[in-house]
Amino acid sequence: MKRKAPLIGVNKWSAIDSSVKDSIVADVIAKWDLEDTYSTKGKILTISRERYRGWRSTLHSTYKAYSTDAQRRANKPEDVTPEEWDYMINYFGTDLKFQVTSVYITRCSK
């Protein structure tokens, strides 16, 4: 999923193009020799959505672990390119909607 699902220009799973999601489904079905049914596709997409959200959450945790953008860039996660990490640093640091949602979630979880 990480090889196909974009980070740049996408802020949530529902914004990912359906052709990318179809490609993820096809890869999983082929790799695991699964039956190509509507139910199977739905399960694969549900799991992919959860993993995508988890991946972005992990990236945000890495972002929050450092206090400056220079430290964040020096500690880029292995599973993203430098361009993707720069984009995510900018997104986590400047996207107002993300920041408001992040603060709300943090307050609710206490």
pLDDT tens figures, 42-94:
999 999 999 999 999 999 999 999 999 999 999 999 999 999 999 999 999 98
Q: Is 5 exposed, middle or buried (0-12, 13-18, 19+ CB in 10 A)?
A: buried
Token pair of 44 as six digits: 């694969």
| Predicted local distance difference test score (pLDDT) of residue 110 | 72
> Where in the sequence is the domain holding 77, given as residue range(s)?
14-98
pLDDT in tens, 7-45: 999 989 999 999 999 999 999 999 999 999 999 999 999
Q: Give the global pTM.
A: 0.84
Structural domains counted in the chain: 1
User: Tokens 């399960």 belong to which residue?
Assistant: 43
